[in-house]
Structure 1
């Protein structure tokens, strides 16, 4: 669990609401259903138009990474690769077949299977690099969905503000209608800017960082599998892969 993300989300919204309270404002003044509908609905609508369905589904799937990011397991991965290397030197590459059958990581399993099948190192690198780049690109595109929504949200908030002011101007003769129109105008702007800067843009950057960590782990696996294919000794492989550690 990523405690820092949870603290950040809570702190951001508590700071805004708490600051409003200290200035003498009321929480109820920040609650406005029409403004929320305009900002959230307009932002989602713009994102739907821009984003292919498969990318949007992936964006929803990886949102949990904000609190529950997948483990990169770099150090554990190095130990695992050294174990594979040791087995390969003792029993040959066919000795890795049993490990490939029980490997839970699809990327590592494919690499082990390629080793067992006797693939040349160049073919091994080519196949695994394609999958690495494809996965990285897919995750980064999903993260950019939130980044794009963070760009639309403030603009939609301004649209809501203009709509509220139009409502006000159209009811100048009826003072009882002025308050609700002005409230929508200002609250819509707050919703748009706050949603972008307190949630959507930070979420996008966090997801990009997690996606790059996953790619780094796969790069480490790729280099380890290549070293095994080229017959390097376990100690040399370990020294090489330690360069991936922070």
Structure 2
């Protein structure tokens, strides 16, 4: 579970509630009709923009914003170096047995392509095609939350307009103008809150998760092609660590020193 996502949402809601309590009552900001207009309208707009199956998949996509990474680049590089050492000692055919211990389907597919003697250029094309479609699928899921983030404030404004129209019908009673105006503005508040605390930040988190996963897959592609080319495992390690930021490279070196 990614604590940053949960802490961010909880902290954001907490600060909003705190600000409300400093100057008023929390009950004044609770309006079921406004919530229905904002959330219902936002989801309805999303259904117009995307096929039903894509909207359903948004729930599955949202889980990635709350999940931690299954593996990091340093761990992947370590696995690839292990595979390279096996290939150097026993040959590429020995990797078929080693592939049984690989959990990642993408890496396992690449290893089996090498074992089958597939042309290196074809291996690259197959893996990079899969990467391209993976990135496209990630983009589809992320775009749904971008759309939700843009629609929520709009439907908040629609709710406000509805409230203002109803308020204008009762202008003969001056005492009702203030409360009616407050209720009318609540939908704008909900639209801005949902968009800026949940939908837009989740789209940004999904974009980050996608970049991290694609980068790890690119490390796998480069490592597998280097193994197939018969490069020295030490050279492969140096090459793959160029994908890492300087801080992670130092941590990796320190970890190796401790293990040694």
Whether the TM-score (by the shorter chain) exceeds 0.5 is yes
Superposed counterparts of 1:193-232, under 5 Å: 193-232=192-231
SS in 1 for 2:242: helix
Q: Secondary structure at the match of 1:71?
A: coil
SS at match of 2:16: helix
- Of residues 216-225 and 178-187 in structure 1, the stretch that sits farther from structure 2 once superposed is 178-187
Tell me, yes or no, if structure 1 residue 234 matches structure 2 residue 214. Answer: no
- Is 1:99–2:109 an aligned residue pair? no
Q: Please state if 1:20 is matched with 2:20.
A: yes
> Are the equivalent residues in 2 in contact too, given 1:151–1:196 (CA < 8 A)?
yes
Cα deviation, residue 176, structure 1:
8.3
SS, match of residue 244 in structure 1: coil
- Confirm or deny: 8 A CA contact 1:165 1:182 kept in the other structure: yes
Q: Under a length normalisation based on structure 2, what TM-score does the superposition of the two structures give?
A: 0.89
Unpaired segments ≥5 residues, structure 1: none
**TM-score, length of structure 1 as denominator length:** 0.93
**CA distance in structure 2 between the aligned counterparts of 1:201 and 1:30, rounded to whole angstroms:** 22
User: What whole-Å deviation, never above 9, does each CA across 1:179-210 have from its counterpart, x for those lacking one?
Assistant: 76434311101000111111110110011101
Deviation at 1:107, TM superposition (A): 0.6
Q: Retained in 2: the 8 A contact 1:164–1:183?
A: no
Instruction: Tell me the residue number matched to 1:70.
Output: 69
Q: Distance in 1 between matches of 2:173 and 2:227?
A: 80
Map 1:16-95 onto structure 2 (within 5 A).
16-23=16-23, 25-95=24-94
Count of aligned positions: 245
Q: 1:58 to 1:72 in 2, by over 3 A?
A: farther
Contact in 2 for aligned 1:147/1:200 (Cα 8 Å)? yes
- Separation in 1 of the partners of 2:53 and 2:223? 32
Partners of 1:231 and 1:114 lie apart in 2 by: 15
- 1:199-244 per-position Cα deviation (integer Å, ceiling 9, x unaligned): 1101100111011100000000010001011111101000000112
